[in-house]
Structure 1
Amino acid sequence: MSASKGRPETVPAEPKPAGDAQDAAARRHALRVLALSSLGAFVVFLDTTIVNVAFETMSRSLRTSADHLSWVLNIYSLVFAATLIPAGRLADRYGRKRVFLTGITGFAVTSALCGLAPNVDVLIGGRALQAVFAALVTPTSLALLLPEFPPARRPVAIGTWGSMSALAAAVGPTLGALLTQYASWRWIFLVNVPICALVLVLGLRMLRETRDPHAQGLPDPLGVLLIAAMPAALSLGIIEGPKWGWSDPRVIGAFSLAALLLPIFILRDRSATQPVLDFALFRVRQFRLINAATLVFAAAFFGNLLNNIIFLQTVWHYSVLRAALATMPTPLVVAVIARAAGRLSHDHGARRVLTVGAIVWTGGLVLNATVVGADPHWVTHWLPAALLTGLGVGLTLPVQSAAATQSLPPARFALGSAINASLRQLGAVLGISLFVAVLGTPTAGTAVDSFHRVWWLFAALGLAAGLLLWAPRLRPERALAL
């Protein structure tokens, strides 16, 4: 017998295959990138709605009129929408990590500028710059994420990313109300600085550089200006139409300019040596339909977000903070359901999930329009509708982001996500403008009916977004060449 007699003989554990250890390390790295890119998307989309509830407080603090201050809200959406597509193209060509970190750094600096602004003009300028850097972050945060996951796991990863951006937009009013009431409206902007600093430090160490291997040179400068000017002119007309009047020459001029620039841009882009936008993306039917649905549903989502806050304050006479807290069930449901929505989309198809989401959303707003009245009944009347709309949003916004890019080759991820995000921002401007136009200036006796009309409108838009996905195929699908 051996010297180990009397003791149980130990059998050495079989060494873990090197491939398993590498796969586990790759999964951990992918999850870290997912968390980091989602945080970047969160901080950028937070600023699309966080300012809304502090509007009156900022007006008093800066001693300016509401018309002048409205550009603090409008300029961010306008510039954000106008610069997203050029930003995605730059990221494809010059590196997603480089552009992402540049955007995060610039967003932190311009957020500090907004938070410390001595007057409204500096604040408006800071918001315009802030939107430019936000546009650098949005498409790159998704484009950096997708290559880290195998195709089978991408829908869930994108669903998580999308849920953070949707959650940020939905939770913005509540966070803005808390910061305004217990600190200062300036912290609405200053809170971005430490978040961006964390993302920057981690991103320098963690992210891997990716780019389009076929990219070279600068995108056509004239094409960049044209593609930015088109949505800017369109956004200007939509934003100012309710205030100036839809027949005002300035509004007609803005819409006419946007329409005129479209064929000019197409001709320029097709003849440019380094075109800005690859029109081959729109050969993909799923990409076309998802982006159309994104525009329509975003109008309903963002318009209803503002509509609910205003209703609670003006009809139920809630305080700013109480109104923001009353809307919290919707974003909480979005956060809970978004990852599951990504898995459902992968298993059953994005079109089915998005259709169910549109129907549920419509049911929630129909409930608002038929049950919610002048007397406050939050638990029995408001909460059921809020839970339904949250479920509808959770089944829609994150899945739209995933489905739009999922149909594209990896080299087009940044540009594809930029187009989708740009249309979402344009939808936000359209939805808020529709809210103002349909609501009008109601009296105490007509306010409930006016808000009911808005809910019916956004219910119809949400349903239309789902039906768009079932548009018949008019011609054979063409392959997307790389």
Structure 2
Amino acid sequence: MATTPALEVRSAQEVRAGAVLAVLSAASFLASLDLFIVNVAFEHMGRSFPGASLADLSWVLNGYAIAYAALLIPLGRLADRFGRKAGFLLGLGLFTAASAACAASTGLWGLVFSRVAQAVGAALLTPTSLGLLLNATPPDRRTRAVRIWAAVGSLAAAAGPVAGGLLVELSWEWVFLVNLPVGVVALLAAVRLLPDSRDSARGPLPDLLGAGLLGVAMGALSLALVKVEEWGWADARTGVSLLGSAVAGGLFWWRSGGHPAPVIEPALLRVRTFAWANLSAFVFSVAFAANLLASILWMQEVWHYSALRTGLAIAPGPLMVPLFASVGQRLSRRVEAGWLAALGCVLFAVGATLSMVGVEAVPNYLTGLLPGWMLSGVGVGLVIPTLLASATVELPPTRTATGSAVVNMSRQVGMALGVSLLVALVGASVGGERQAAFGHVWIAVALLSLCAAPLSFGVSTASSALSGSHRR
């Protein structure tokens, strides 16, 4: 039977849409893979830089998180204004090139600088990839495409620990070199396949100075936390760092109130569900990052696990996330979002507590760490998707993309402070003192997660000035 021209056109459109989805999902995979894969390689990087303290090494993680958080929204807005395809290509190219620079780094601070460049690329490619996907996908297929795009990110989180462990067996440089072939292929395919899109209305330029102030505020606070054991609370350097963070944060908030395109619109924070979701996501992310790095370092430093064994041991937790995200979606039909997120926070706290009381100096992974780690993964699966979905439910459609970006920014800020918290508590301790310090980290993780639980109830509170005016 002959194929009609209409069917041929539709088939060609579907093939092209599938190719676009594959390219954009590959970019999402790269950006999402980074979190777990670099954490697993953290200790091996430290061995390559003799004399580097845990506080210094923390900037490999925090430099990325701070730059990504500060630039995610303004770079996304620049791409919306000048062209999402150009922004995506530039972001992907920079991320790939910076990955090569990370692998070629011969000094710690060169690696940190390259990681910051990586974060700039990720902050540009992440929002543009979703914008391009929505523009290139027919309306009746957008929901499915976005779910696939998000699922690929979840797959990266699950695969990251094992991939990181395998690659580190070769050398830690391969953690970054693996990005090169995927990045180059995705870049070449993107040039050919991706249609461009941009906002028709040319609004004001985003507040890049405000983004810089936000980065300074986060960086100065992180510096004070990671150096406090070395400097002491009474040291002038600690005071100057904390004062600098407060001043930069105050200036950032002042600019946000008067700039026509601020990093965070103050009006958004008057939307109760949005404000509470951001606060809860921030506090929970502090606990999440500290728990992740503490678990990895415990296995590598106390139990002397190899990177591969650590990656395999970490993998069950992330695997729980997509599974219980699906469970949470089903439960959300009968349970309010606030209760669901609060339950996840409590489960995460219980998981951290089980890890604290269960682990011993002699390896006892199956009975000591695994139960709490898997329960923590269940908690993440209930908390993060629920907060991300709830944050934007009351926002006008024109603010949904910005709202989602702000929540992701809050999570990155929280993760940077979580790493800093671990460094502040563990520091340069050794032997039995160091093992006790890990216990203090898990106590802090449990307390922070329990604090996030009541904050989560705010996402069930409806009504706000902004959303109310939108409905009118």
Q: TM-score, normalised by structure 1?
A: 0.81
Q: Which secondary structure state, in structure 2, belongs to the residue aligned with residue 286 of structure 1?
A: helix
Alpha-carbon offset, residue 343 of structure 1: 5.3
Q: 1:325 aligns with which of 312, 320, 328?
A: 312
Contact 1:97-1:207 at 8 Å conserved across structures? yes
2:408 maps to amino acid:
A
DSSP-derived class of the 2:305 partner: coil
Contact 1:294 1:420 in 2 (8 A): yes
Q: Which residue in the other structure is 1:422 paired with?
A: 409
- 1:469 aligned to 2:456? yes
Residue 452 of structure 1 aligns with an amino acid whose one-letter code is: G
Shift of 1:306: 0.8
- Counterpart CA distance in 2 for 1:350 and 1:145 is 28
Q: Which amino acid is 1:398 matched to? A: P
Aligned partners of 1:119 and 1:125: how far apart in 2?
10
Paired residue type of 2:121: F
C-alpha contact 1:114 1:123 (8 A) present in aligned 2: yes
2:87 counterpart (80, 84, 99): 99
Aligned partner of 1:73 in structure 2 is 61
Choose the corresponding residue for 1:128, options 113, 116, 122.
116
- Give 1:107 shift: 0.5
Q: Which amino acid aligns with 1:330?
A: G
2:162 corresponds to 1:174: yes
Identity, % of aligned pairs?
A: 41
Residue 380 (structure 1) aligned with residue 367 (structure 2): yes
Q: Deviations over 1:210-229 (max 9, x none)?
A: 44444334334544443443
Deviation, 1:254, is 2.8
Residue 117 in 1 paired to residue 100 in 2?
no
The alpha-carbon deviation at position 71 of structure 1 amounts to 3.5
Instruction: Tell me which residue corresponds to 2:419.
Output: 432
Q: Is it true that 1:403 corresponds to 2:377 in the alignment?
A: no
Residue 108 of structure 1: which of 64, 72, 96 is its match?
96
1:382–1:270 Cα change, 3 Å: closer
SS at match of 1:193: helix
Trace 1:59-458 onto structure 2 (pairs within 5 A). 59-61=46-48, 65-66=52-53, 69-145=57-133, 148=137, 154=143, 161-162=149-150, 164-165=152-153, 168-169=156-157, 171-181=159-169, 183-272=170-259, 274-342=261-329, 344-345=331-332, 348-439=335-426, 444-445=431-432, 448-458=435-445
CA offsets, 1:282-315, max 9 Å, x none? 2322221111111111111111111111222333
Gap change, CA 1:431 and 1:130, over 3 Å in 2: same
CA offset at residue 169 of structure 1? 4.9
**CA pair 278-168 structure 1, distance change in 2 beyond 3 A:** same
CA distance 1:150–1:385, shift in 2 (3 Å): farther
**1:160 and 1:350 mapped to 2: Cα distance?**
23
How high is the TM-score relative to the length of structure 2?
0.83
Using the TM superposition, give the Cα deviation of residue 127 of structure 1 relative to its aligned residue in structure 2, in angstroms. 1.8
Change (3 A) 1:165 1:188: same
The CA deviation at 1:409 is 3.9
- How big is the shift at 1:149? 8.1
**Aligned match of 1:45:** 32
CA RMSD of superposed structures (Å): 3.8
| Compared CA separation, residues 26 and 350, structure 1 to 2 (3 A) | farther
CA distance in 2, matches of 1:56, 1:80: 23
The 1-side partners of 2:140 and 2:246 are apart by 38
When residues 171 and 114 of structure 1 are mapped into structure 2, their CA distance, relative to the original with a 3 A threshold, is same
DSSP 3-state at the match of 1:408: coil
Q: Which one has a larger percent helix, Structure 1 or Structure 2?
A: 2
Work out whether residues 43 and 300 of structure 2, in 8 Å CA contact, stay in contact via their aligned partners in 1: no
Q: Which sits farther off after the overlay, 96-105 or 107-116? A: 96-105
Q: Using the TM superposition, name which of 468-477 and 197-206 deviates more.
A: 468-477
Distance 1:222 1:297 in 2: 28
Tell me if the contact between 1:48 and 1:76 (Cα under 8 Å) persists in the aligned partners: no
- In structure 1, runs of 5+ residues without a counterpart are 1-11
Structure 1 CA distance for aligned equivalents of residues 395 and 358 of structure 2: 43
Change (3 A) 1:463 1:218: same
CA distance in 1, matches of 2:138, 2:417: 34
The answer (yes or no) to whether the contact 2:271–2:463 under 8 Å persists in 1 is no
Which blocks of at least 5 consecutive residues in structure 2 are unaligned?
A: none
Q: Supply the AA of the counterpart residue of 1:310.
A: L
